[in-house]
């Protein structure tokens, strides 16, 4: 039987890696939520890059580029990491480049997975329905914060693992999936409130970004599942 498990940090990814697994990269606040939003608003492809220098090279070549570090949009680029900044006609049909503190680092770490897809509360139902049909191991990879555990990614991992484990014939659960699903059970009535003292919620709130946090916890804003093909994220067809 296939397994669903949760890896709480990109640093631990090599320990969890299996050649046959689908990896779901998660950065709820805010990278993977922003990526889903960009596709929902018509972006054709996203090139996720780990290094700012690489993002700057793409900018020189004329690409639209989003770049963020520590929650702050980097000067000289077109977007930061707010999902709202990707709700624009400007990105329709475009290949855009994104570099973020943790999310694009996690994508980079897992880029050689059998298949890498992007997860967020904003695409959770479409993502889980698709994962159930794949007959594959699933690893929910949390981007965390600078390789540390973070609450919001693990909550999402718990929500997704809970959905995948509903049908006991589909997945065996690793302890990471069990722990994350127990955590989500205690948060699900009001995840936003549950997170109010968490480090990145406080960081974004101090930057005046509470609206982003609320949006990133809204369910099913899109049915798009971004998948990595070579260096590009594209909508799964
Ligand atoms: O860590 C990341 O990749 C970002 O999502 C962080 S932030 O929400 O833009 O601050």
The pLDDT assigned to 193 comes to 87
- Cα of 84 vs centre of ligand 1, distance in Å, is 14
Q: Which token pair is 77? A: 């680029």
210-235: pLDDT as tens digits: 899 999 999 999 999 999 999 999 99
- From 67, 73, 100, 202, mutation site for ligand 1 pocket: most ligand atoms within 8 A of C-beta: 100
What CATH code is carried by the domain that includes residue 39?
3.90.1560.10
For residue 106, the enclosing domain spans: 2-235
83-132: pLDDT as tens digits: 999 999 999 999 999 999 999 999 999 999 999 999 999 999 999 999 99
Distance from chain centroid for Cα 105 = 11
Number of folded domains that form the chain: 1
- Cα of 3 vs centre of ligand 1, distance in Å, is 28
Mean of the pLDDT values across residues 156-175?
95
Q: Which token pair is 168? A: 């006991």
The pLDDT assigned to 168 comes to 87
Question: Measured from the CA of 212, which atom of ligand 1 is nearest?
Answer: 8
Cis peptide, bond prior to residue 117, ω within 30 of zero: no
Lowest mean pLDDT among 18-27, 66-75, 82-91, 192-201: 192-201
Distance from chain centroid for Cα 169 = 27
Q: Is 232 helix (H, G, I), strand (E, B) or coil?
A: strand
Residue 209 pLDDT > 90:
no
Indicate the pairing of strand 171-173 with strand 2-7.
parallel
Question: Measured from the CA of 68, which atom of ligand 1 is nearest?
Answer: 9
37-88: pLDDT as tens digits: 999 999 999 999 999 999 999 999 999 999 999 999 999 999 999 999 999 9
- Cα of 31 vs centre of ligand 1, distance in Å, is 5
């Amino acid at each position: 039987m296939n397994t669903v498990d949760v890896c709480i940090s990109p640093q631990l990814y090599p320990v969890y890696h299996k050649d046959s697994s689908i990896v779901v990269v998660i950065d709820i606040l805010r990278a993977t939520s922003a990526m889903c939003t960009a596709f929902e608003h018509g972006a054709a492809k996203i090139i996720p890059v780990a290094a700012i220098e690489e993002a700057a090279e793409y900018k020189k070549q004329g690409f639209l580029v989003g770049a963020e570090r520590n929650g702050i949009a980097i000067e000289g680029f077109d977007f930061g990491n707010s999902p709202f900044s990707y709700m624009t006609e400007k990105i329709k049909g475009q290949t855009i480049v994104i570099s973020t503190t943790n999310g694009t680092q996690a994508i980079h770490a897992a880029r050689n997975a059998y298949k890498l897809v992007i997860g967020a509360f904003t695409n959770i139902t479409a993502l889980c329905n698709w994962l159930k049909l794949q007959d594959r191991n699933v690893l929910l990879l949390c981007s965390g914060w600078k390789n540390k555990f973070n609450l919001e990614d693990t909550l999402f991992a718990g929500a997704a693992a809970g959905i995948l484990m509903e049908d006991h014939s589909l997945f065996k659960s690793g302890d990471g999936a069990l722990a994350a699903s127990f955590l989500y059970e205690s948060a699900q009535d009001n995840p936003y409130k549950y997170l109010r003292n968490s480090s990145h919620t406080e960081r974004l709130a101090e930057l005046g970004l509470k609206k982003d946090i609320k949006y990133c916890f809204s369910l099913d804003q899109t049915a798009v599942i971004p998948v990595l093909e070579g260096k590009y994220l594209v909508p799964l067809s």
